[in-house]
Amino acid sequence: MARGVEASCRCYLFLSLMLWHGCIFRQFVEGSFGNLVHSASSSHVTEGDVKYIYETGKSCVTFASNSAPYVDVNIGNGRQFRTALIYLPKDGTPLEDITVTASTNKNELSLTKHAEVNGQIVALWTGGPFTTTWIRIESTNSFSLCLIKVYDVTLREYCECDDACHRNADVICHDPHQSPELQTCSDPQNCRQVNVALNKTAKMSSSYRKSEASYAVNGITGTTFSAPDYTNDSTQWNCIHTGDTDWSPYWQVDLGKEYTVDSVIIYRRGGGPGKARMVGVTVTVDDNLCKTISYADATDEKMSVICSNPTPRGRFLNITRRGNLYDPYINLCEVQVWVCKPGYYGFGCTSKCSEGCSGEMTDCDIDNGFCTNGCDDGWYTATCSQECGGGCTGGRCNQTDGQCSPCLPNWTGDKCDQCDAQHYGDDCSKACGHCRDQNRCDRRDGSCPNDNPRCQPGYTGLHCNESCSPGRYGPDCRQSCSEGCRSAACDGTTGHCKCRHGWQESDPFCTKKCDSETYGTNCSRECGVGCQNTNSCDRTTGQCSCDVGYQPPLCDKGVYLSILDKRTSFFCCFL
């Protein structure tokens, strides 16, 4: 019974260890930035160590045989891959003599020259994805191979070409000495952030073999960890590793000055151990907590660590870990601290420093946009984002509240930023029209309020600056001039006019016609005595239909000797 309990305990302990180290999980996460090659074998090595082609790349390995020499590299059982990079000596075997095959399905990988790095030719295959365990490199003659890197992401994804800020600094991604057609990534555009940890001074509590703290701030985001040999060839390995007896490990980078840190990018080591070794890692800025990382946080090799509640500020970024019984290390590959580039500020660096900042536009605080050197003339507020009123004398105002005095002509308000009641426009130089309400008009476009009526008497139109047309008068020119007005025209404001013949001038609107017995200017003439219908005549001309014995057209003269005078009731004689 005791032996059974002991065996069960040993089994439990074994399973716990395997779980902790990621042994029964997949060895690499999807989208790995690390080299999938972890072993190689060949019976044709004549110079060098076969592990150099995947561990350190510190020297090239020569393969020779009486028959076709080859080397097989292992990327894991049934792994998918999308990219293969083969490094060959520049003066070695021609690229066209090299054959690369995915051994499981015998897919031959067609290589093309991609770049020249440190005197080596880099041949590239990208495509698939193919699934295999072994990749074979062979030639018809002896050949030398310096390095092979295989990724389950595309080269553009490995290099992070589509991210203007977070580019991989691996020389294979963007070598300024390469011709444009051989460069993986073009020059970054529209990045508003800068990694303030890049190439800054770093230190760590201990080192496993030759690991150096600076490796985590060299800009290379590959996640390949290559033990046991560390050399100065950063094209292959890139990760830091604290000592195996350091139970309180730490890593620190000096950012050079204080920053508010809201986001840290950590590229952890690829594979299962890399994920396990991020559990319990705590990120602080000076003594201010950013975050403690859980197992779930470490799923992706590229980890975005958000600092909040509150957002810490400081100069030194610290990564610590209180190691567990089995795995106390800090083992990561790159740490990036992203802040806004000069000229931008705010969360995500989406806001641009105001052009009103004194000095350069870049002189503003990256956290809140406050202008470091105050405002140029013509601007106010802490961010110098508000322009002084257009009516401020000399264009200057109080840089805190924007007030100024006295205002230029046509301007009003504490900030001289409003047109007075009679003016409108960007510079208040345009006079308002004849709006109904004391010339009040819109200060932007000069339109009068639609008060029904909109305009003062004599004017019409949106801006009330159009005089009434002939024959119209009053507010909005809604009223028609009297038919008694001479030429049908009247004063556009009052409606007064000069009367036509046949209308009484005692009425300024000329709405009263002459009575039935008068006509002419101001009704000053009497109709002829011979007019029919009780001496009624035309109000304008005086013409009428004559009684018998009177001469037309005015019927005011007789045409025979005797006629009864209707007015005097006696006979007259006409010669």
3-state secondary structure string, 342-366? Answer: CCEECHHHCEECCCCECCCCCCECC
Number of CB atoms found within 10 A of residue 395's CB: 16
Q: Which of 89-103, 117-131, 338-352, 467-481 tops mean pLDDT?
A: 467-481
Determine the average pLDDT of the residues in 401-408. 93
- Decide which of 220 and 6 is more confident: 220
Quick check: helix, strand or coil at residue 485?
A: strand
Q: What is the per-residue pLDDT for 469?
A: 93
Q: Which tokens belong to 299?
A: 């799923």
Indicate if the pLDDT at residue 289 is higher than 80: yes
The domain limits of the chain are: 52-160, 193-345
- 3-state SS assignment for residue 45: strand
Q: Which pair of tokens denotes residue 196?
A: 């303030």
Inform me whether the pLDDT recorded for 170 exceeds 80.
no
Contact 358, 373 (CB under 8 A): yes
Each residue of 59-82: pLDDT tens digit? 788 888 777 898 888 888 878 888
Question: Nearest-CA neighbor of 107 among 86, 127, 85?
Answer: 127
| Residue 191 binned pLDDT confidence (cut-offs 50, 70, 90) | confident
Question: Which position has the token pair 């010339």?
Answer: 439
How large is the average pLDDT for residues 410-424?
91
Topology match between the domains 52-160 and 193-345: yes
Helix (H) or strand (E) run with residue 11 in it:
helix 2-20
CA dist., res. 437 & res. 475, Å (int):
12
DSSP E strands in 118-275: the ranges are 120-139, 143-145, 147-151, 193-195, 202-204, 250-260, 263-268
Chain-centroid distance, C-alpha 412: 36
If one compares 452 and 474, the residue with the highest pLDDT of the two is 474
Mean pLDDT of 382-397: 92
What residue has token string 């792994």?
Answer: 79
Check whether 162 has a pLDDT greater than 80: no
pLDDT tens-place string over residues 301-319: 888 888 877 888 899 999 9
Question: Could you say which of 1.20.1530.20, 2.40.37.10, 2.60.120.260, 3.40.250.10 is the CATH number of the domain covering 193-345?
Answer: 2.60.120.260
pLDDT at 1 over 90: no
Residues in the chain: 575
In terms of CATH, what superfamily is 52-160?
Galactose-binding domain-like (2.60.120.260)
Termini Cα distance of the chain = 173
Distance CA 501, CA 214 (A): 109
- Quick check: 340 and 193 in contact, CB under 8 A? yes
In this prediction, residue 207 carries a pLDDT of 85
* Token code pair at residue 338: 């992203």
- pTM to 2 decimals? 0.55
Q: Reduced to 3 states, what is the DSSP secondary structure of residue 72?
A: strand
Calpha distance 241→444 (Å, rounded):
66
Q: In which residue are the tokens 């080269």 written?
A: 155
